[in-house]
Amino acid sequence: MRVAKFPHHKDFATFDYGATAVTQARIEPFCTGQFTEEAHNLILVGGTGTGKTHIAIALGTTLINNGKKARFFNAVDLINALIKEQAEGNAGKIIRQLSALDCVIIDELGYIPFPKSGGALLFHLISKLYEKTSVIITTNLEFGEWVSVFGPSHRLQANDCRAADAKMTTALLDRVTHPCAIVETGNTSYRFAQSKRRRKM
C-alpha cells in the first residue's frame, strides 16, 4: 500500500452509490482483479466530482488487499516524472518499474494541459504497458477530445501538428481501449450529491 502512493484512503465501504450514476453491479466485477490477469484496461469518464478518483483508489486498494500490485499517479505528475527521467538520461526506468505491476492508475487525464513533449511520452508508456499491465484512467474528456491532451511539436507546421496529434491519439486510444471496459460516471457532482444527502439525514 505504501508503494501504491495513493493520495488518500478511499474504499467502497464509504462510497455512496446513491449519490452517483454508477451502480454497484457495474463496479463489483472489477473487484475480483480478473481484469488484471488479462491485462485489460478500465476508463472512468465523467464530469468533475462524479466519483471517478474515489472509485479508482478504492479499486486499487481492493486489488492490493487481494495480493495485486498497483501504483497511483496524477496524470500531470506522471508526465513530469517521465520528462525529468528523459532529461536526466534515465529514460525507460519508470516503464520497467510499472511493467512489473498488475495495475497502473492514471488520474485526471485532461484536467491540466501537458507540456508539449508529454503526450508522446505518455503514448510510449502506455504502448509499453499494452497487454502486460492493466491501466485505469480517470478523465473528464470524451474520446473525441483526447487529441487536446497531446501538445504539438514546435518543429511541425500547424497542419502537420494537428495531423500528428490525431494519429497519436488514434494509436493511443487503440491501445487503451483494446481490450477495455468504459464506465461513465455522468456529470452530476458526486461530492455535491453526497453532501446534500448528508444534510437531509
- Read off the pLDDT of residues 122-170 as tens digits, 9 standing for 90 and up: 989 999 999 999 999 999 988 878 777 665 444 434 454 556 567 777 7
Q: At what angle do helices 118-129 and 75-87 cross, to 10 degrees?
A: 100
- Mind listing the pLDDT tens digit for each residue in 65-115? 999 999 999 999 999 999 999 999 999 999 999 999 999 999 999 888 777
Residue 49 CB neighbour total at 10 angstroms: 19
What are the strands, taking DSSP E only, across 21-179? 41-46, 70-74, 103-109, 134-139
**pLDDT, tens only, 2-29:** 999 999 999 999 999 988 899 999 999 9
Residues in contact with 49: Cβ distance below 8 Å, sequence separation at least 6, in sequence order: 189, 190, 191, 192
**Whether this model's pTM surpasses 0.85:** yes
Grid coordinates in use for 72?
Answer: 497511483
Q: What is the pLDDT of residue 192?
A: 67
Closest to 54 (Cα-Cα) out of 33, 34, 27, 80: 27
Domains and CATH numbers, the chain: 22-194 (3.40.50.300)
User: Is 153:116 a contact under the CB 8 Å cutoff?
Assistant: yes
Peptide bond into 152 cis (omega under 30): no
Determine the pLDDT at residue 2. 93
Res 157: pLDDT: 43
